[in-house]
Structure 1
């Protein structure tokens, strides 16, 4: 890294892109292997390529980070640990990880491996950063939705490094909170297989969920002032030409600490754009101007890019060879990483043609196939000696290998794995989230059916609900919102609430400060027993498993867990208001807003904060036909009181409710 500048972190979907990032001046590169990375359809790296990539990066003083940021299933945990062990021994500099069960296991078995929390972890406040620091993480990738003020506050308060995105594709949903592709098309974004339904037109032919790409090239001074330690370019699905062109421009802007010129902004747009770029979240200007699609002229400009010519950079070294009579041959290599000296055999007295300095220098200068060139070669050679060329070459290779290995950390790896046992669950325990207070049934039958009912915090504070003892926290609480949220939670406690449905590790501290018992929501993305054990050991009284699990996977986890057995699953948590784009503001207040997709399916939109939305599925998930899955959780969104009671009656009798449903696998 240059002086006090933040790290410039570039993407690589394959080895040519990695070389492009190095050539363009990246300080660090992130890439994925063939498993457990959130870009399953990128070319990605084989194990041999990962080892070579780590070695090449180390030679150039570039950090290498590997993505292990998908959710992991129980049956994959042993393979995941073995893969992480391989990455440690290959010498990568950190893992980018989202699954807290996988992270806890890696910290236990491979304590020397640095961990970075992926943006899929949904970290968006200082409480999340403090939580991660307490569990061994050294960096958090911040949510893309942070404003300048919130990013600055986070960087100032965080005990660990903060990484933020500066260029590339923007998901319209908060990262780690999207189930759209999974629930509708069976391809999980949390497992690296997103089908990008957000990029498709709705029934009217508009694109209300497709955002322009992010470009912070015009905000470099503000970014530097915010204090992030790493600035990240998105694009592991992109070509080497994209990586080289974008990284080169940001390298220049950072080095010169300035904004992009109009010409540089045009150059970025010609490399890749979707109807231009946006800085909407950072600037706090969240509007329709953020929307964009890939136009024909955008594609034409991209096709005109000059092919990347390959890695041309070479690193200078000084080689010093000493051949003395009756002493071993020594070779010292000196470069930016320091010096190493290796020792060979003792040269013999020459019978005919002795070794001369010019011949020795010629052999030592042969550094082809390496990232180095011999800037200077010093030779101290006694007359009349001979040494086989093969020995000179072998010592040169040994010296270069020793030099390249300088600075490697110690590796501690244990790959033995025994799944953690889980206690039996009370299969009669039932909870419900009712999204709107107006839909709460008055009947006693409703309250006797459930052990605990939750209302969203804002709904709870909007009335008097003596039979409701749980509040659901918002999915996102930026640092600028914390003080008000804490006051609201304390007010809820004063009114009788004692429990909180909490879907983010960064919200646990708020629950504790307000005196509320935290219950883990499905937004924690728990898909394995290790993650369940981690959540329960860190303060959650119980938790709701990911709705992406099958019935068999749910039963295998066990413990104090619940499964969503009925409800329209929230598919997206949107900072960019979708209600305005799809239905108009007048339909938002009374929950009449909806996205109508190109197939005519209706996805209701709920307002969580004034302009923060929750998009829910077009049909409810229903699991009454399955044997008991442990604790049961119901989500009521559009259902009126009478319909809620009909659903409960059908569930008791193991009958399907009226209308179309999504069955649990």
Structure 2
């Protein structure tokens, strides 16, 4: 059970630059999240070098503000050592936690730096309390919940989560579930999972001026009292790519509302709108009012409002501290600075006997109280001074500088110990297996039954023609009873395996006695991740479709590769068909999206009103089997979505004979 019920949430704010960090502190942030120069999901933000990161931590800690570093991208085997070095540099810089998305990378950090706090990024697709329980067992202290979570599902998650829950409450809203978007990667070659998203969701589709994937910015600013009462641990503001002015204004509004435990008024809503808006804000997922009113684009009027926002001049806030100085004859000068309950003391030179004008208390206080560009301001000063003594101003200044440095250092965590680790995952001998998922039972032909060892169908369209089931991409806590019931039903009908794409779904699969097979949604891009998922019982996981042939070879072993099919590009909690004319198109499987260039993307229903957008072209390697053999890729997985039975048989024939499938395709990268 979550024990945070009576505690006011942390206010967690973004910083893409040193000035934005100042703005967050000035606005009243309790914690700030920021990125290093690599391996974070906002690679085009200003970000922080190792030296700048240490200075940022020192400054933030002086103000009582925590720093979380984002290492929230997927990493390849080649990058794992550098990833671990980045984590170690962050630990040495004194960060309070790392926000991570790569399971294998996280496990390496846990072994090497066991006392460094880990938070599970929203890129890990955390949306239920079972996920939180699994994360706790592997050393995570916090999970960032999906932006799509409703109030009801959030309440259930919080009631049953053993770790802290962080929730996005303001900022840009992707239309796809975090960690499940391959659109930018598959279509444009820029991976959102690696911090390079090209934002295809912000482009028009269909009729001119139609933006069915562009959502307004999220804002739960009117629900602050509810979020406090529910027991959310941290309220997170999105915006590492935004200006310092945005950070200042949004942080200031949320700080006031948290302190006063109320929702925003009209004036405060205008401040947020002026800071940044896409034709307003939405809380539709939280309130479960999911419809076309969520859609929004950045208008010229929005830009004009933002241009009127006053510039941020820099950090003016100071931290009040106390000063105590002792300057006595024949004793080293002593200076104590005290911040709250934290005192530090340094000693200096022995004062000399004055021949002319001796020191006065005012002289000493004036020299020692000059805090200058430091975060501090002297609230109270006590000076003990013997008569007839003198000390050069340079010695007093040096005493003050060393005391400030000591106070800064005292607020940094103790140096962490690093343990040498052996990379846990050895290359395993590859297995050979052919498996496939189908969208509808009628697609499963006799030839398919003969060719594939494992055949999967979606949970809500299962048939005994299959021997495996595909779990929904997202299973909120509220869905568990019905999913459990359906899983028991398909097991009774002969299902043996369950394609499982989320840590939070494992308990359901095990409970009903099915064998979990790791789905591509786990985003496995390195051997460490593959080994981790196998170690917790996920059989022969399907590797990320973002990988190249050499990268797939490097992981190898007991894993599968998607060698055919339209790759699912987006998982939407909203239903495009419902917005574009009702459920008929969804039911017939004829819903599509057409981009500016006339490229058509199929859209299929997944679970209830959730949509999956598929790639316009299938991946195919039927006429390049020699390449698959060269890279030791022997376990093949096929995705059949909109293909007819005849087209499916033609695909199987092409792979049996090593010939082209006869239509436009895309390749696995080399």
Is the deviation greater in 145-154 or in 327-336?
327-336
Aligned counterparts of 1:473 and 1:4: Cα–Cα separation in 2? 36
The 8 Å contact of residues 85 and 413 in structure 1, kept in 2 or not, is answered as no
SS in 1 for 2:410: coil
Counterpart among 450, 453, 456 of residue 454 in structure 1: 456
Alpha-carbon distance, 1:583 to partner: 6.1
Matches within 5 A, 1:503-652: 503-582=501-580, 584-624=582-622, 625=624, 626-628=627-629, 629-652=633-656
Partner of 2:153: 150
Residues 538, 32 of structure 1: CA spacing in aligned structure 2 closer, same or farther, 3 A cutoff?
same
Counterpart among 35, 48, 52 of residue 32 in structure 1: 35
1:459-503 superposed Cα distances (whole Å, 9 cap, x missing partner): 11xx443xx211110000000001111111111112211111000
| Correspondence 1:210 to 2:214 | yes
Partner of 1:227: 231
Counterpart among 5, 10, 23 of residue 7 in structure 1: 10
Partner of 2:387: 383
Partner of 1:50: 53
Alpha-carbon distance, 1:4 to partner: 3.2
Aligned counterparts of 2:531 and 2:352: Cα–Cα separation in 1? 66
Aligned counterparts of 1:79 and 1:559: Cα–Cα separation in 2? 24
What is the aligned-residue RMSD (CA, Å)? 1.7
Partner of 2:343: 339
Alpha-carbon distance, 1:337 to partner: 5.0
Aligned counterparts of 1:660 and 1:413: Cα–Cα separation in 2? 54
| Correspondence 1:110 to 2:107 | no
Matches within 5 A, 1:353-392: 353-392=357-396
Is the deviation greater in 396-405 or in 240-249?
396-405
Alpha-carbon distance, 1:351 to partner: 4.2
The 8 Å contact of residues 54 and 91 in structure 1, kept in 2 or not, is answered as yes
Residues 597, 22 of structure 1: CA spacing in aligned structure 2 closer, same or farther, 3 A cutoff?
same
Partner of 1:256: 260
Partner of 1:199: 202
The 8 Å contact of residues 111 and 412 in structure 1, kept in 2 or not, is answered as no
Counterpart among 489, 495, 498 of residue 497 in structure 1: 495
Alpha-carbon distance, 1:311 to partner: 0.5
Counterpart among 303, 316, 319 of residue 315 in structure 1: 319
Aligned counterparts of 2:454 and 2:582: Cα–Cα separation in 1? 35
| Correspondence 1:298 to 2:302 | yes
Aligned counterparts of 2:528 and 2:581: Cα–Cα separation in 1? 42
Aligned counterparts of 2:430 and 2:275: Cα–Cα separation in 1? 56
The 8 Å contact of residues 422 and 558 in structure 1, kept in 2 or not, is answered as no
Counterpart among 438, 441, 451 of residue 442 in structure 2: 438
The 8 Å contact of residues 150 and 478 in structure 1, kept in 2 or not, is answered as yes
Partner of 1:140: 143
1:66-108 superposed Cα distances (whole Å, 9 cap, x missing partner): 1100001111111111111110010111111100111000000
Partner of 2:245: 241
Aligned counterparts of 1:416 and 1:632: Cα–Cα separation in 2? 36
Aligned counterparts of 1:4 and 1:434: Cα–Cα separation in 2? 47
The 8 Å contact of residues 582 and 593 in structure 1, kept in 2 or not, is answered as no
Aligned counterparts of 1:161 and 1:605: Cα–Cα separation in 2? 35
Is the deviation greater in 403-412 or in 157-166?
403-412
Partner of 2:189: 186
| Correspondence 1:281 to 2:285 | yes
Partner of 2:433: 429
Alpha-carbon distance, 1:388 to partner: 3.6
The 8 Å contact of residues 148 and 226 in structure 1, kept in 2 or not, is answered as no
Alpha-carbon distance, 1:5 to partner: 1.4
Counterpart among 70, 75, 100 of residue 72 in structure 1: 75
Alpha-carbon distance, 1:391 to partner: 2.9
Alpha-carbon distance, 1:661 to partner: 0.4
Aligned counterparts of 1:450 and 1:582: Cα–Cα separation in 2? 37
The 8 Å contact of residues 85 and 415 in structure 1, kept in 2 or not, is answered as no
TM-score by length of 1: 0.96
Aligned counterparts of 2:595 and 2:582: Cα–Cα separation in 1? 16
1:604-645 superposed Cα distances (whole Å, 9 cap, x missing partner): 111112210111111101133123314111111111122111
Aligned counterparts of 1:263 and 1:490: Cα–Cα separation in 2? 53
TM-score by length of 2: 0.96
1:132-172 superposed Cα distances (whole Å, 9 cap, x missing partner): 11111110000001100111111111100000011111000
Aligned counterparts of 2:527 and 2:160: Cα–Cα separation in 1? 32
SS in 2 for 1:340: strand
Aligned length: 659
Alpha-carbon distance, 1:410 to partner: 3.2
SS in 2 for 1:482: helix
- Structure 2 unaligned regions, length at least 5: none
- Structure 1 unaligned regions, length at least 5: none
Is the deviation greater in 335-344 or in 286-295?
335-344
Alpha-carbon distance, 1:373 to partner: 1.2
1:417-447 superposed Cα distances (whole Å, 9 cap, x missing partner): 5433434344421111112112111x2x422
Is the deviation greater in 23-32 or in 628-637?
628-637
| Correspondence 1:488 to 2:486 | yes
Aligned counterparts of 1:346 and 1:539: Cα–Cα separation in 2? 68
